[in-house]
């Protein structure tokens, strides 16, 4: 016979009936009930997990920024593998294209039984021209095309069991480390794109901030109900923090809502978690894909004349935070917001326009 | 499954292991919906079984047999176990099979199931929709209660199951199974299953494609239909209180696998396949309903070049067709209207002419009358003139004569 005995002492009965409200008297409508004994509802969680492991995950990420900011290296570091071949051939000069091109590369990565189909879309040529007017257009067009593709699949009469998802779940925008404010290009891009996709801004090549810039940025302190910067969590490097604060201020002034968006916090728990993240956005990151020896350990880092910058060291850069956000804690949330918010608003627009 | 994409090797811990947890965490927060439909004749133990299965207590009025037609009663409960919130809806068929004429017993059930699909379908088609917070009322599983006759399936049951099998996942169970003996049971089960198979009834198949559950699912599948006993009473056995039914000759323990298949049912329904039931409902039954509905609305599945037609193209083709239809109808109506107007005009003209003739006629008559009267008037005037003359003459004579005679002869003349 089977080895499933509901009375097994190892399977603990549910926690005290603190769960439900009053016992039932009314015969109709919604009622809360007290459970006596084991039913087995929590097994549905395992069932779901098994199903998701079988179907696997899809994740589509786009990286945008001027050439030379370390986008490809960053992606490789994030996914600990040679996702982008560009970075591994530093000697080879790839010509900067005359217009913004979009290149998508898809790989399958697997870890602990979880399969993920990862698509990275790179945007060489962005912001590299002399005249960068409308350089965001090809990007917006690409993002909308993916929504369109999904929409078409969804409205078929006989539709696939699992609609292939090529929609961009997150757009990582690389802000150059130098400069006083966000440049008009950065503002314009983020403003337009945060309306249709989740934008995660990062300060690239954070190791190159110079002393003068540090001093200057310290002056730009974000005022507000949260008070003086000392009250925020101690930043790894104060000069990075000032640049971060300054960018936050800029974004606020221009009403650009980047990920995680305040409007989509679902409950107080979410809000608390996301508030902590919002304090640190944009993350100052350094990318590296080579290992070095530090204190007898092999770490991923960049070797410079003045020391080794450890990518995974929170005191050196905020890369671990970015990785945690994108993969370990908010990946599903990125996908959900793309599906429930951005895709739906695209659909509304599209359906309204075809009605006219 | 890799679709030809390059598989990358990871040099270190990326963190993908947390992905299933992230997904599950979201779903737990939102809560799960699970909707169960119980079909079976009155008194077969549907409510008792549900109470035993989900450990809930509710006051359910005992149904009478005299309802004019069958009704469906739905109730929702929120159950919580550890951190999982389950929103359970139980739909009961009240009065199933009680009527004298039972041909239409199944129709309300079919209509109810279709109505839930329709509600979801309408929500999905809306322009501004909110699918992620939608209260899913679609029936995920139908527990069909077979009466424990020991012989074979009743024709009503067979017919109902045949009609429902393409709309919902059916799990057949034998209710009040404590009235069947150990030797009768296997024969009864085999009879039922073979009847179902020979009549082409497609009951829910426990999934066997995943290694973690295929073994238990195959084992359980062989025990269908589950012979269950439900109880809301507890009896002290040894030193524990268990759900049981106490008879003078012994105690039937609900959770004892030797006594009945209750535990198997709970295992299959809740612990192992709840998620699959939900998925099958959405991916198979609902999609079928949706396709039929769209085809019924006039959309074809395969377009002119034999490619699958999208809803939008089909919609536009239909709209075009309806526009032409509308135009045609408009023209038709306009023509009809013009026709009527013409006819009316003719009628009115005729009437006008008639009146004209009448008028002329009247005028003539009037003229004649007038002339006649004129003549008479003239005649009378002449007479009057004559009379006045006579009178004048007579007065003159009188005045000449009155000189010679007295006055009373005047009066005689005046008359």
Please give the mean pLDDT across all residues of chain A. Answer: 73
User: In this complex, do B276 and A333 lie within 8 Å of one another by their Cβ atoms?
Assistant: no
Contacts of A339 in chain B (CB under 8 A): 132
Q: Is residue B173 part of a domain?
A: yes
From CA A115, how far away is CA A329, in angstroms rounded? 17
Q: What is the pLDDT of residue B174?
A: 92
Q: What strands lie across the sheet with B84-94, from one edge to the other?
A: A30-32, B71-81, B84-94, B32-39, B141-146, B170-174, B226-227
CB B257 within 8 A of CB B229: no
Q: Which whole number is the average pLDDT over A104-128?
A: 85
Q: Is residue B93 part of a domain?
A: yes
Binned at pLDDT 50, 70 and 90, residue B414 comes out as low
CATH number, domain of B137, equals 3.40.50.300
Contact residues, B window 283-322, toward A, CB-based 8 Å cutoff? 283, 287, 290-291, 294-295, 299, 301, 308-312, 314
Query: What is the count of structural domains for chain B?
Result: 1
Contacts of B84 in chain A (CB under 8 A): 41-42, 44-45
Q: Which of B122-136, B374-388, B389-403 has the highest mean pLDDT?
A: B374-388
Contact residues, B window 366-405, toward A, CB-based 8 Å cutoff? none
Q: Is residue B123 part of a domain?
A: yes
Residue B296, C-beta contacts closer than 8 angstroms, at least 6 positions apart: none
CB A73 within 8 A of CB A289: yes
Q: Is residue B302 part of a domain?
A: no
From CA B152, how far away is CA B193, in angstroms rounded? 10
**Residue with tokens 């039972």, as numbered in its chain:** B102
What is the domain range of residue B147?
26-297
Contacts of B78 in chain A (CB under 8 A): 20, 30-33
pLDDT digits (tens, 9 = 90+) for A234-248: 334 455 556 777 788
Q: Which whole number is the average pLDDT over A111-115?
A: 84
Q: Which is nearest to B88 in space by CA: B76, B71, B100?
A: B76
Whole-number CA gyration radius for chain B: 48
DSSP structure string for B34-80: EEEEEE--TTSSHHHHHHHHHT-----PPPPS--SS-EEEEEEEEEE
Q: What is the pLDDT of residue A53?
A: 83
Higher pLDDT residue, B344 or B43?
A: B344
Site from A22, A332, A351 to mutate, B interface, most B CB atoms within 10 angstroms: A332
- Which residue on chain A is closest to B211 by alpha carbon? A50
Q: What is the pLDDT of residue A68?
A: 80
At B245, which helix (H) or strand (E)?
strand B240-247
User: In this complex, do B219 and A331 lie within 8 Å of one another by their Cβ atoms?
Assistant: no
- Which has the minimum average pLDDT: A104-113, B109-118, B355-364, B403-412? B403-412
B106 pLDDT higher than 90? no
Q: Which whole number is the average pLDDT over B283-300?
A: 84
**pLDDT over 90 percentage in chain B:** 34
pLDDT digits (tens, 9 = 90+) for A147-186: 999 998 888 878 888 888 999 999 999 888 766 667 788 8
What pTM was computed for the model? 0.72
B219 contacts chain A (CB < 8 A): yes
Q: Is residue B10 part of a domain?
A: no
**pLDDT over 70 percentage in chain A:** 72
Q: Identify the sign of the CA torsion A345, A351, A352, A353.
A: positive
CB B296 within 8 A of CB B318: no
Q: What is the pLDDT of residue A18?
A: 32
Q: Considering CB atoms only, which of A24, A36, A156 is closest to B310?
A: A156
Site from A156, A289, A331 to mutate, B interface, most B CB atoms within 10 angstroms: A156
- Which residue on chain B is closest to A324 by alpha carbon? B15
From CA B290, how far away is CA A319, in angstroms rounded? 47
A88 pLDDT higher than 70? no
B277 pLDDT higher than 50? yes
Q: Which is nearest to A326 in space by CA: A198, A216, A215?
A: A198
Question: Cis ω on the peptide bond leading into residue A282 (within 30° of 0)?
Answer: yes
B21 contacts chain A (CB < 8 A): yes
B356 pLDDT higher than 90? yes
B327 contacts chain A (CB < 8 A): no
> CA–CA distance from A290 to each of A207, A294, A299, A309, B233 (Å)?
16, 12, 8, 11, 69
B222 contacts chain A (CB < 8 A): no
Q: Considering CB atoms only, which of A161, A327, A351 is closest to B127?
A: A351
User: In this complex, do A108 and B279 lie within 8 Å of one another by their Cβ atoms?
Assistant: no
User: In this complex, do B1 and A327 lie within 8 Å of one another by their Cβ atoms?
Assistant: no
From CA A225, how far away is CA A86, in angstroms rounded? 44
Q: Considering CB atoms only, which of B10, B131, B216 is closest to A111?
A: B10
Q: Is residue B9 part of a domain?
A: no
Q: Is residue B52 part of a domain?
A: yes
At A106, which helix (H) or strand (E)?
strand A103-111
Q: Considering CB atoms only, which of A78, A82, A333 is closest to B8?
A: A82
Q: Is residue B189 part of a domain?
A: yes
Q: Considering CB atoms only, which of B10, B55, B75 is closest to A28?
A: B75
**Residue with tokens 């939008």, as numbered in its chain:** B312
Q: What is the pLDDT of residue B257?
A: 85
**Strand-pair partners of B226:** B173
Domains of chain A: 42-84+97-225+257-355 (3.40.50.300)
At B351, which helix (H) or strand (E)?
helix B311-402
ipTM above 0.95 for this complex: no
Residue B266, min C-alpha distance to chain A (Å) = 8
């Amino acid at each position: 016979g089977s080895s499933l005995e509901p009375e097994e002492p190892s399977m603990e009965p549910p926690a005290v009936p603190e769960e439900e409200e009053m016992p039932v008297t009314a015969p109709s409508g919604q009622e809360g009930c007290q459970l006596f004994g084991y039913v087995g509802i929590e097994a549905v969680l395992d069932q779901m997990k098994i199903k998701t492991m079988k179907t696997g995950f899809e994740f589509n990420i786009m990286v945008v920024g001027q050439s030379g900011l370390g986008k490809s290296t960053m992606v490789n570091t994030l996914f600990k593998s040679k996702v982008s071949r560009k970075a591994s051939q530093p000697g080879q000069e790839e010509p900067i294209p005359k217009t913004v091109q979009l290149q998508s590369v898809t790989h399958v990565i697997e870890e602990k039984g979880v399969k993920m189909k990862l698509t990275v879309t790179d945007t060489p040529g962005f912001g590299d021209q002399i005249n960068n007017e409308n350089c965001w257009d090809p990007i917006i067009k690409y993002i909308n095309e993916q929504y369109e593709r999904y929409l078409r699949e969804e409205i078929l009469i006989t539709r696939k069991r699992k609609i292939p998802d090529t929609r961009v779940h997150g757009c990582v925008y690389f802000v150059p480390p130098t400069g006083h404010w966000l440049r008009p290009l950065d503002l314009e891009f983020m403003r337009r794109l945060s309306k249709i996709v989740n934008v995660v801004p990062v300060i690239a090549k954070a190791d190159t901030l110079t002393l003068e810039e540090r001093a200057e940025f310290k002056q730009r302190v974000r005022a507000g109900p949260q008070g003086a910067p000392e009250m925020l969590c101690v930043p790894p490097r104060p000069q990075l923090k000032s640049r971060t604060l300054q960018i936050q201020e800029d974004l606020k002034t221009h009403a650009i809502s980047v990920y995680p968006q305040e409007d989509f916090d679902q409950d107080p728990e979410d809000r608390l978690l996301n508030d902590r993240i919002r304090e640190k956005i944009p993350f100052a990151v350094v990318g590296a894909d080579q290992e070095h020896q530090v204190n007898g350990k092999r770490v991923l880092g960049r070797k410079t004349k003045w020391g080794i910058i450890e990518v995974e060291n929170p005191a050196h850069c905020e890369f671990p935070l970015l990785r945690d956000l994108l993969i370990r804690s908010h990946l599903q949330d990125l996908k959900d917001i793309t599906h429930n918010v951005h895709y739906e608003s695209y659909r509304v627009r599209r359906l309204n326009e075809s009605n006219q | 499954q890799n679709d030809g994409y390059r598989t990358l090797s990871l040099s270190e811990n990326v963190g993908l292991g947390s992905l299933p947890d992230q997904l599950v965490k979201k779903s737990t927060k939102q809560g799960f919906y699970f909707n169960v439909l119980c079909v079976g004749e009155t008194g077969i133990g549907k409510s008792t079984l549900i109470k035993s299965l989900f450990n809930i207590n509710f006051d359910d009025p005992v149904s009478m047999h005299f309802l004019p037609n069958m009704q469906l009663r739905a109730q929702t409960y929120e159950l919580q176990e550890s951190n999982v919130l389950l929103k359970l809806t139980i739909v009961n068929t009240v009065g199933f099979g009680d009527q004298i004429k039972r041909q239409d017993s199944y129709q309300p059930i079919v209509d109810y199931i279709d109505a839930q699909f329709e509600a979801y379908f309408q929500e999905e088609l809306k322009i501004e929709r909110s699918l992620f917070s939608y209260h899913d009322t679609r029936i995920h599983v139908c527990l069909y209660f077979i009466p424990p006759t020991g012989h074979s399936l009743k024709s009503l049951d067979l017919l109902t199951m045949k009609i429902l099998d393409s709309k919902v996942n059916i799990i057949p169970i034998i209710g009040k199974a404590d009235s069947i003996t150990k030797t009768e049971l296997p024969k009864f089960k085999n009879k039922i299953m073979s009847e179902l198979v020979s009549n082409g009834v497609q009951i829910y198949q426990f999934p066997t494609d995943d290694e973690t559950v295929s073994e238990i699912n195959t084992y359980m599948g062989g025990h269908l239909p589950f012979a269950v006993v439900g109880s809301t009473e507890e009896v002290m056995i040894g030193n524990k209180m268990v759900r049981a039914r106490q008879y003078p000759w012994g105690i039937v323990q609900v959770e004892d696998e030797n006594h009945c298949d209750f535990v198997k049912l709970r295992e299959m329904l809740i612990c192992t396949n709840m998620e699959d039931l939900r998925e099958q409902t959405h991916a198979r039954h609902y999609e079928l309903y949706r396709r039929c509905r769209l085809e019924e609305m006039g959309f074809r599945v395969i377009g002119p070049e034999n490619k699958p037609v999208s809803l939008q193209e089909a919609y536009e083709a239909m709209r075009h067709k309806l526009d032409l239809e509308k135009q045609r109808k408009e023209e038709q109506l306009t023509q009809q209207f013009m026709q009527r107007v013409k006819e009316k005009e003719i009628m009115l003209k005729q009437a006008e002419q008639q009146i004209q003739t009448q008028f002329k006629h009247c005028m003539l008559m009037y003229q004649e009358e007038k002339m006649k009267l004129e003549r008479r008037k003239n005649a009378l005037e002449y007479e009057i003139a004559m009379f006045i003359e006579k009178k004048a003459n007579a007065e003159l004579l009188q005045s000449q004569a009155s000189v010679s005679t007295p006055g009373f002869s005047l009066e005689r003349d005046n008359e």
